[in-house]
Structure 1
Amino acid sequence: MPHLALYTFGVLKSPIADPAPLTRELRDTGEAIYRKISQHPGYLARAEAADRGRGTHFDLDWGAWGEFAVPTWYGKGRTVESAALDATLSLWTDLRSALDAVYTGLHREALNRRYDWFERTEHPNYVCWWVSDGVIPTWQDGVSKLEHLRDHGSAPHAFTFHHSFTPEGTPTRIKGIGPKSDQVR
C-alpha cells in the first residue's frame, strides 16, 4: 500500500544557532512537536540523522533518506553559524493523518506563529507525494517535488493538502479543506 511522503522547507529569519530567545524558542518548540507528531496515528517515520548535533543539516549522515538538499531559492548559509533553515521529511499512512498532525495541537500553534521565525516567501513551504510501500523518500526527492510544485502547481506527483491526489493520481478533497470539500475519496 502506498504511503504519503511530506517534505517541508522554510527559511529562518536568523540562523538556527542564534542564541536569541526567539530562536531558542523555535528549537525547543520543534523538539516538542517532533515528539508529539511521532506518536500521531498514521505517522510512520521521519528523516533523522544518525549523528544528530554534530553539524548542520548539510554535514549529517541521513542514511537511507539520502544527502541533505535544499531548494534553489535557499541563499543563506550552510555552516553551523550561518544555516538559517528548517526542513522535515516524513512518511505517513495517508493524507488525513498527515493533515491532522500538521493542523492540530502543538504544530498548529507553531504554524500560527510561523512568521515570528520564518521569512515570508512566495515559494511553497511543503509538498506531498505518494511512494510505494518500502520506499524511503530522499531529501533530493523532496526538493525536486517542491520545485516542481512551485513551477507547475499541484500534480499527482507533487501536491498540497488543498489540491491533493489519490495514490492512483485522481484529484481528491479532504474534509475541511478546499471548496466544497466533504471527504477523502
Structure 2
Amino acid sequence: MTEPAYELAQVNLGRLKAPLDSPQLKDFVDQLDPVNADADGAEGFVWRLQGEAGDDATDVPVFGDSWLIINMSVWRDTDALKAYMYQGRHREMLARRREWFERVQEAMVALWWVPAGHRPTVAEAESRVLHLRTHGPTPYAFTLRTSFPPQGATPLLGEVPEGLGCGAL
C-alpha cells in the first residue's frame, strides 16, 4: 500500500469561561490527559501539538489572546478524525463544552490538507482560521460539514505555484 500524499490537519480554538486552574474548569482539565491518550491511540491519528508545560497545548499562545486555547492535530483523513471525535471521552467532553467555553459566532475550527509528514505551526493554523472566517469553506480551509478532497489541497503559505498570485488563494 502506498503512503498517502496528504494528511488532514485540524485546529480547534476555544475561548475559556474561566482560568484553567479554576474550579469551574476542573473537570475539563482533569480529562485532558485521558482524552489526549485516547487520541494518541486512535486509528488514523498522526500527530498533535503539545506545549512546553506538558502533554497538552493549553500553554501555547494563539492570536495573542490569553483566553483562547488551541488543539491542533493531524489525522489520516476526515473519517479517522470523525471516528475519534464522536466516541468515548471526547464525545462526552463535546457534550459539556458550553460549561467551559464561551459560545463564539466566528469560526473557531478549521481543517486543511497538508503534505504527508508536515507538522503545521500555530501561525499556519491562525491563517487557515482567518481565511475560513473571511471566505467560508474552500480547499485552503474548510469544515467537516463542507470538506474538500486532498486532490484539491491548496499549497501552504509561501508555496504558491508559479503563475498564481495571492488572489488565487
Task: Provide the aligned C-alpha RMSD in A.
Answer: 1.9
In percent, how many aligned pairs have the same letter? 31
Q: Does structure 1 retain, via aligned residues, the 8 Å contact 2:53–2:59?
A: no
Query: Does residue 158 in structure 1 map to residue 151 in structure 2?
Result: no
Aligned mates of 2:30, 2:69 — CA distance in 1:
13
> Which residue among 118, 141, 151 is the counterpart of 2:101?
118
Task: Give unpaired runs (5+ residues) of structure 2.
Answer: 154-169
Aligned mates of 2:53, 2:30 — CA distance in 1:
19
Q: Deviations over 1:158-180 (max 9, x none)?
A: 0000000001128xxxxxxxxxx
Aligned mates of 2:39, 2:118 — CA distance in 1:
21
Structure 1 residues 169 and 39: alpha-carbon distance in aligned structure 2, compared to 1, 3 A threshold: same
Q: Match of 1:52?
A: 54
Aligned mates of 2:115, 2:102 — CA distance in 1:
34
Task: Give unpaired runs (5+ residues) of structure 1.
Answer: 59-67, 78-83, 171-185
**Secondary structure in 2 matching 1:45:** strand
- Give every structure 1 segment of 4 or more consecutive aligned residues whose post-TM-superposition deviation is greater than 4 Å: none
Q: Determine which structure has the larger helix proportion and give its number.
A: 2
User: How big is the shift at 1:121?
Assistant: 0.8
TM-score (norm 2): 0.80
User: How big is the shift at 1:94?
Assistant: 0.7
TM-score (norm 1): 0.73
Aligned mates of 2:51, 2:87 — CA distance in 1:
26
Q: Match of 1:103?
A: 86
User: How big is the shift at 1:9?
Assistant: 0.3
Q: Match of 2:166?
A: none
Q: Match of 1:133?
A: 116
> Which residue among 13, 19, 24 is the counterpart of 1:15?
19
User: How big is the shift at 1:16?
Assistant: 1.1
**Count of residues paired in the alignment:** 147
Q: Deviations over 1:115-146 (max 9, x none)?
A: 00000110222110000012111011111101
User: How big is the shift at 1:85?
Assistant: 2.9
